[in-house]
Amino acid sequence: MHIATQGLVLREVNYKESDKILTVLTAEGGKRTVKAKGCRKKNSPLAAAAQLLVYSDMTLFAYKDRITLNEAESIRQFWHLKSDVELLALGSYFAEVMEVISVEGRPDPAAMSLILNSLHALDKLNKPQALVKAVYEMKLMCLEGYEPLADACAVCGRADPEGPMLSLAEGVLHCAACKKEVGEGMSLPLTEGALSALRHIIYGDPKRLFSFALDEKGLDCLARACEGFLRTQMDRGFRTLDFYQQLKAGM
């Protein structure tokens, strides 16, 4: 069976002498494991599309439990992102998280839109890396069923918590003084601006996800909270995130 779709390569692994095994997030069928035969040969028509973080029109051939890439034409290569080692490392982290959280064969158009828009923000919009990263992490958690309760303090009900904090394990907002009622897990503080941005990401217009600005302290609070929430909820680390952080720290 032939399948016409659009797909973003989340992972590439060399296979045999000239092939690759690709993990592709597709528009019609969610995550797919795809074999790209001969794509590493010189002048292969599949070479451009069979690379990490390339979004392409694809024709797949499905037979029994195997899927092969028959034809492909790249739509977005994200050239600026790939020319900057920090941006490429961050984009690779986005791909690794998406690969982990996606389900084989389950369509997830909202997640597809989010990662493409996040890569575009890094590639073209000149947004701060920390802002794009925080938006991607928190919004993806919301889309996949981990949305935190951030409309009010989960203990006392205050709409504007005093000393707002986000519980990473419980996924709730609370006042600093209410911490003991939430549990023993870690909670991270939020500035007023960071809380407003967090609510914008969770509850705001998906088409305006990146349309906010924060001062340095607020962005740092937001970034720590979003990364901490994702890592706590998924209960794991990410190799690409470690590499990105090493780059940011100057190795």
pLDDT in tens, 223-235: 999 999 999 999 9
Q: In this structure, are residues 34 and 69 in contact, taking their beta carbons and an 8 Å threshold?
A: yes
Amino acid at position 222, single letter: L
> What confidence tier does 100 reach under pLDDT thresholds 50, 70, 90?
very high
For residue 61, the number of C-alpha atoms closer than 13 Å in the C-beta half-sphere is 7
**pTM for this entry:** 0.95
| b/e map 43-58, b = 16+ CB within 10 Å | eeebbebbbbbbbbeb
Do 15 and 116 lie in a common domain?
Answer: no
pLDDT in tens, 33-81: 999 999 999 899 999 999 999 999 999 998 888 999 999 999 999 999 9
What's the mean per-residue pLDDT of the chain?
95
Do 121 and 230 lie in a common domain?
Answer: yes
Do 58 and 24 lie in a common domain?
Answer: yes
Q: What is the DSSP letter of 31?
A: E
pLDDT in tens, 148-161: 999 999 999 999 99
Distance of alpha carbon 96 from alpha carbon 114, whole angstroms: 14
Confidence (pLDDT) at 1: 82
CATH number where 150 lies: 1.20.1440.120
Do 24 and 84 lie in a common domain?
Answer: no
Do 43 and 129 lie in a common domain?
Answer: no
Amino acid at position 232, single letter: T
pLDDT in tens, 14-43: 999 999 999 999 988 899 999 999 999 989
Confidence (pLDDT) at 199: 98
Interacting residues of 60 by C-beta distance below 8 A, sequence separation 6+: 2, 3, 5, 26, 32, 34, 67, 68, 69, 70
Tokens of 218: 């607020």
Question: Distance of CA 180 to CAs 173, 174, 175, 177, 224, Å?
Answer: 13, 10, 10, 7, 21
Residue indicated by tokens 């990662």: 115
Q: In this structure, are residues 188 and 165 in contact, taking their beta carbons and an 8 Å threshold?
A: yes
Tokens of 169: 């394990």
pLDDT in tens, 102-143: 999 899 999 999 999 999 999 999 899 999 999 999 999 999
Interacting residues of 2 by C-beta distance below 8 A, sequence separation 6+: 59, 60, 61, 62, 70
Q: Which domain holds residue 65?
A: 2-76
Confidence (pLDDT) at 251: 60
Do 29 and 83 lie in a common domain?
Answer: no
CATH number where 22 lies: 2.40.50.140
Which of 76, 96, 128 corresponds to the end of one domain? 76
Which of 76, 110, 138 corresponds to the end of one domain? 76
Do 232 and 115 lie in a common domain?
Answer: yes
**pLDDT of 6 above 90:** yes
Confidence (pLDDT) at 149: 97
pLDDT in tens, 187-224: 999 999 999 999 999 999 999 999 999 999 999 999 99
Which of 76, 104, 122 corresponds to the end of one domain? 76
> What confidence tier does 184 reach under pLDDT thresholds 50, 70, 90?
confident
